[in-house]
Amino acid sequence: MLSDWFSDNETLIQAALAGALLAYSFQIALRAGVFTLGGVGFWAIGGYTTAYLVTEREWATVPAIGVGLLLSAVIGLGLALVLGRLRALYLAMATVAFVLLVQIVAINWEDVTGGAGGLFGIPVTVSTTQVFLVVLVVSIALVFFERGARGRTIEAMRLDEQLAQSVGIDVVRERHLIFVLSSVLAALSGGISAVMFNTLAPEQAGFHLITDTLMMVVIGGAAAWWGALVGAIIVTWLPELLRFAEDYRQIIEAAIVVLVIVYAPEGIVGLVRRVRGLLSGRRPPTATPFADIAAATSPDRGHSQPEAELPPAAGRDPRPATQARNPD
Amino acid sequence: MNAQDLLNVVVIGSIYTLFAMGLTLSWGVLNILNLAHGAIFMFGGLLAYLVTQDSALSLWIVMPMSMVVCGLIAVLLELVAYRPIRRRVADLHASELATLIASIGAGAMLVAIAENVTENQLVGINPETFVVEQTSFLGLRTTNLEIVIVAIAALLSVTLTLFITRSRHGRALRALAQDPYTCGLLGISPDRMAAATMFVSGALAGAAGVLLAMQLNTVEARLGEPLLLKAFAVIILGGVGSVQGAIAAAFLLALAETFTDVYASTSVRDAVAFGLIIVLLLFRPQGLFSRVAWQRA
Amino acid sequence: MAESMLSLDDVKVHFGGVRAVDGISIALEPGKLYGIVGPNGSGKTTLINAISRLVPLTDGTITFDGTVVSRMRPFQVSREGLARTFQAVRLLPTLTVRDNVRVAVDRMRDGDGGRRGRWRRTPAERNRAENATDVALERLHLTQLAGEYPENLPFGTQRRVEIARAIANRPKLLLLDEPIAGMNREERTEIAEIMKSLRDDGLTQLLIEHDLRIVLSACDHIFVMNFGKCVADGPPRETAARPEVQEAYLGRKHDGGA
């Protein structure tokens, strides 16, 4: 029974696993307050590197993916150094530009990428079980990474960067670290996808993938690591669930993103915590990168500033987070 | 590079101007990086295709109509997504990110609708909408359409610039960019101004969409995506929120691209925009022209 | 001068044409409780922000415990042993009271002060951090509330959590930006007592406050700021009585309720 279900749904399971890795990549950055959407670019870099080495150079899968990860780590660090001081929308914009650039390179560098048509017949060298194990290991690693001191550091960086610095957190270095980690996770997803689905084309690594991945993070909820995993599973099965909608499926999918981000930005993680809170009678606040409750305790960082407590002359930028440059 | 290339620069720069002005406006005034802008732009062309499918209409009817509809689409996004987010999410950082994601979702929705309508085919606006003829201008080869594109871009950008710098509403817009809260106190309704800004932004995208679709003689669902990258470069170059900066930057980018085209290769051309973004972000994040943009950059 | 905990030499912070801080030279001796008073907009908070390195200096030198810190980044001065609180309470709403305090000791290491650390801390280091957290919570009478989330606590208690966080890493100097604003009388007295007892333990403190009564009763020495300059300093009561100080406050005497 169960094995039947697995073989019937193997492609979806694979897609969910690869999606979860990419969703982790997005989530880890957003949770730390690093507004990067560049993961899709690194997904492509990881994917093409792996595909090229496995197909053209006949490398084994693991070293091929490894090179993809390494390359992404290096490029990710470079990008972090260049874009590191950008905040908020500037960083989002610059990283979207990076994704579009990678896509342009993929279309034009025909010798390696197969051009606009993409690569076909990449040997399938990983099994679903192996990929499952990879996702399991990464998930466990993330649990440890986001627990304890590092978890508190991440919360502080996202919620209040000035405060983070004032308690001794080297925000610049931490942001670089997050950027690199996010790049590597995305490249892992891309590399695995390449040798799991045997084709890779530039159009896969565009806006569409950004939308899909954000959808996973938003629907699942970004306040806990497992939100990305649940989101990946839901988003992967969504086309199946929406089969009745036929031609309107993609429109409905996109509409779901908009509705969730506007009306339920805490996603499933938020929902679960709320239910658990009702049962236990006490609810921990769920702040996600898209729906902070920070304003509840610090009125000076909200949109509306009921009482600007300092005249501009006193020089505190009321909106430190939107600065393009660091104060230092 | 010869005079013919320069003419080309002017035409491309005009399209970039029309596209980027709307995007810089919503970012500068409302802190909305509207990634649905490319899709709204595409919708302008798509609408022109749809209404001319059976019977040819004049461009002078089709374009204003597309502008109005695209403006309304942008207002709709503001009403159903961006405004509720601003209301719900108090933290500026979080609200910017939520708005960005909502705009990506909204853009994907418009693209999906377009894919349905066109059945994933390339379609074209009825050529009788505007009969393109070869002509010459100061001895250079061009078309009457290109002259129209340049003229419309010039007209709309001058109008918008005058509106912002001279009119009462324009001053209110600039005030809104500086300090929404105080604006509310002064009797300027931030919500109404936001809707108006989005309308203008969408209408500009609509005009650009119709014109580019005419020029390329194609409409397809992903028409807007490549332009988004260009617009980013234009906005960064011109300074976020600065309309004059965007106009100047649009032509500079077109010049840089054409230059690359002529002296390097066509495939490098599309990377120019990204290169400019990186260099500028590194050395002059406030933009080339404006010392201070509407908002502190 | 060498014994100063903190010394500012002609420190200036200008924003465009606005001279928020315009040539301040002061020195703090270790183990004393200092106050800065002055009308709104006189540059007090900017000065604190300059010392904790959140705003760049236009000119001048800041020396903290023998180290020149004027060019350091905020996290670096923090690791040198300088802690601060903020004018508006800035707690992390998603963390419990205990975790809010822990944030400050997460980088506590043996030896080098955690400047370049191994990936994980040793159990001994973690223990030390936990103890420091316990001590700080105890000190601010928060032990019972360690598991609460900040939003469920009254404002005055949130302020105490901020102070607990600031002292948890055993700083050498504590900057307090209006720690009793918006508190009721009892809470004010409680905070004043805590500041005095921290002083008795040898912690140097620099306090910004509107409420002159608290400043006069708690501080050892005060500085009066107006228009970005230090217009007077000395023992609290005498200094407050000087005519130029009275003038700076004239007509805008605050009661700390702002």
CATH number, domain with residue B161 = 1.10.3470
Band of pLDDT at residue B73, cut at 50, 70 and 90: very high
Q: What is the pLDDT of residue A292?
A: 58
Amino acid C95 reads L
Q: How far apart are CA A139 and CA A127, in angstroms?
A: 18
Q: What is the pLDDT of residue B295?
A: 38
Q: What is the pLDDT of residue B70?
A: 96
The domain total for chain A is 1
As a whole number, mean pLDDT of residues C75-89 equals 91
Q: What is the pLDDT of residue B289?
A: 62
CB atoms within 10 A of CB B77: 29
Is residue A248 packed enough to be buried (19+ CB in 10 Å), middle (13-18) or exposed (0-12)? Answer: middle
Q: What is the pLDDT of residue C237?
A: 86
Q: What is the pLDDT of residue B140?
A: 81
Q: Of B266 and B148, which is predicted with more confidence? A: B148
Q: Of A305 and A113, which is predicted with more confidence? A: A113
Q: What is the pLDDT of residue A176?
A: 93
Nearest chain A residue to C89, by CA? A298
Q: How far apart are CA C212 and CA C249, in angstroms?
A: 11
Q: How far apart are CA A217 and CA A209, in angstroms?
A: 12
Interface check for B287 against chain A (CB to CB < 8 A): the answer is no
A188 close to A43: Cβ distance less than 8 angstroms: no
As a whole number, mean pLDDT of residues B114-138 equals 84
Q: What is the pLDDT of residues C120-177, one digit of tens each?
A: 678 888 888 899 999 999 999 999 999 889 988 988 899 999 999 999 989 999 999 9
Phi, psi of C141 (to 5 degrees): 55, 45
Enumerate the residues of chain C whose CB falls inside 8 A of the CB of residue A315. Answer: 13, 15, 18, 20, 45-46, 49, 55
Enumerate the residues of chain B whose CB falls inside 8 A of the CB of residue A30. Answer: 97
Q: What is the pLDDT of residue A303?
A: 36
Q: What is the pLDDT of residues C92-126, one digit of tens each?
A: 988 999 999 999 988 876 654 444 555 667 888 88
Return the percentage of chain B with pLDDT > 90, whole number.
38
Interface check for B182 against chain A (CB to CB < 8 A): the answer is no
Residue B296 domain-assigned (yes or no):
no
Element (H, E) at A248: none
pLDDT score of B87 more than 80: yes
Q: Could you say which of A162, A168, A301 has the minimum Cβ distance to residue C54?
A: A162
Q: What is the pLDDT of residue B288?
A: 63
Is residue A121 packed enough to be buried (19+ CB in 10 Å), middle (13-18) or exposed (0-12)? Answer: exposed
Enumerate the residues of chain B whose CB falls inside 8 A of the CB of residue A303. Answer: 86, 90-92, 95, 180-181
Q: How far apart are CA C188 and CA B34, in angstroms?
A: 48
Q: What is the pLDDT of residue C205?
A: 94
Enumerate the residues of chain A whose CB falls inside 8 A of the CB of residue C94. Answer: 155, 159, 223, 284-287, 293
Q: What is the pLDDT of residue A326?
A: 36
A with B: how many residue pairs have Cβ under 8 Å apart? 182
Q: A315, C55: Cβ pair inside 8 Å? A: yes
Nearest chain C residue to A293, by CA? C93
Q: Could you say which of A256, A262, A303 has the minimum Cβ distance to residue B92?
A: A303
For chain A, which chains pass the contact test of at least 3 CB pairs under 8 Å? Answer: B, C
The domain total for chain B is 1
CATH fold group of domain C1-81+171-258 = Rossmann fold (3.40.50)
Q: What is the pLDDT of residues A120-157, one digit of tens each?
A: 888 888 888 999 999 999 999 999 888 888 889 999 99
Q: What is the pLDDT of residue A1?
A: 67
As a whole number, mean pLDDT of residues B246-262 equals 90
pLDDT score of B271 more than 90: no
CB atoms within 10 A of CB B277: 24
As a whole number, mean pLDDT of residues C175-194 equals 88
Q: Could you say which of C43, C90, C114 has the minimum Cβ distance to residue A163?
A: C90
Q: What is the pLDDT of residue A282?
A: 67
pLDDT score of B262 more than 70: yes
- CA-nearest of A156, A255, B46 to C100 is A156
Q: What is the pLDDT of residues A261-273, one digit of tens each?
A: 888 888 888 888 8
Pick from A241-255, B206-220, B273-287: least confident: B273-287
As a whole number, mean pLDDT of residues A66-92 equals 89
Q: What is the mean pLDDT of chain A?
A: 83
Q: A258, B105: Cβ pair inside 8 Å? A: yes
Interface check for C98 against chain A (CB to CB < 8 A): the answer is no
pLDDT score of C256 more than 60: no
Interface check for A309 against chain C (CB to CB < 8 A): the answer is yes
Q: A328, C15: Cβ pair inside 8 Å? A: no
Q: Could you say which of A262, A295, A304 has the minimum Cβ distance to residue B84?
A: A262
Q: What is the pLDDT of residues A193-225, one digit of tens each?
A: 999 998 899 888 888 899 889 989 999 988 888
Enumerate the residues of chain C whose CB falls inside 8 A of the CB of residue A316. Answer: 45-46, 49, 55
Q: Could you say which of B92, B105, B271 has the minimum Cβ distance to residue A321?
A: B92
Q: How far apart are CA B147 and CA B139, in angstroms?
A: 14
Task: Output the six-digit token pair for A36.
Answer: 């990067």
Q: What is the pLDDT of residues B156-196, one digit of tens each?
A: 999 998 888 887 777 777 777 777 777 776 777 788 888 99
pLDDT score of B32 more than 80: yes
C6 close to C204: Cβ distance less than 8 angstroms: yes
Return the percentage of chain A with pLDDT > 90, whole number.
40
pLDDT score of A321 more than 80: no
Phi, psi of A113 (to 5 degrees): -100, -10
Q: What is the pLDDT of residue B30?
A: 86
- CA-nearest of C83, C109, C62 to C171 is C83
Q: What is the mean pLDDT of chain C?
A: 86
Q: A328, C53: Cβ pair inside 8 Å? A: yes
Band of pLDDT at residue B240, cut at 50, 70 and 90: confident
Interface check for B87 against chain A (CB to CB < 8 A): the answer is no
Q: What is the mean pLDDT of chain B?
A: 85
Q: How far apart are CA C247 and CA C200, in angstroms?
A: 33
Q: Of B38 and C238, which is predicted with more confidence? A: B38
Residue A170 domain-assigned (yes or no):
yes
pLDDT score of A65 more than 90: yes
Residue B225 domain-assigned (yes or no):
yes
Q: What is the pLDDT of residues C39-65, one digit of tens each?
A: 888 888 899 999 999 998 999 999 999
Task: Output the six-digit token pair for C94.
Answer: 């998603």
pLDDT score of C10 more than 60: yes
Q: What is the pLDDT of residue C17?
A: 81
Interface check for A306 against chain C (CB to CB < 8 A): the answer is no
Q: What is the pLDDT of residue A322?
A: 32
Element (H, E) at A36: none
Q: C84, A166: Cβ pair inside 8 Å? A: yes
Domain locations in chain C?
1-81+171-258, 92-170
Q: B89, A291: Cβ pair inside 8 Å? A: yes
Q: What is the pLDDT of residue B287?
A: 61
Q: Of B138 and C157, which is predicted with more confidence? A: C157
Is residue A294 packed enough to be buried (19+ CB in 10 Å), middle (13-18) or exposed (0-12)? Answer: buried
Nearest chain A residue to C81, by CA? A168
Band of pLDDT at residue B141, cut at 50, 70 and 90: confident
CB atoms within 10 A of CB A40: 32
The DSSP 8-state label assigned to residue A109 in this structure reads: -
As a whole number, mean pLDDT of residues A86-98 equals 85
Output the CA torsion sign for B65, B69, B74, B78: positive
Q: Best mutation site among A75, A87, A93 for testing chain B: the one with the most B CBs within 10 Å?
A: A93
Q: What is the pLDDT of residue A42?
A: 97
Q: How far apart are CA B82 and CA B34, in angstroms?
A: 10
Enumerate the residues of chain C whose CB falls inside 8 A of the CB of residue A285. Answer: 93-94, 149, 151
Interface check for A281 against chain C (CB to CB < 8 A): the answer is no
Q: What is the pLDDT of residue B286?
A: 63
pLDDT score of C184 more than 90: no
Q: Best mutation site among C75, C78, C80, C84 for testing chain A: the one with the most A CBs within 10 Å?
A: C75
CB atoms within 10 A of CB A158: 26
Pick from B100-109, B256-265, C136-145: least confident: B256-265
Q: Could you say which residues from 106 to 135 on chain B have a Cβ atom under 8 Å away from some Cβ of chain A? A: 106-109, 111-113, 115-116
Amino acid B66 reads S
Domain of residue A43: give its range: 2-206
b/e map B204-236, b = 16+ CB within 10 Å? bbbbbbbbbbbbeebbbbbbbbebbbbbbbbbb
Interface check for C226 against chain A (CB to CB < 8 A): the answer is no
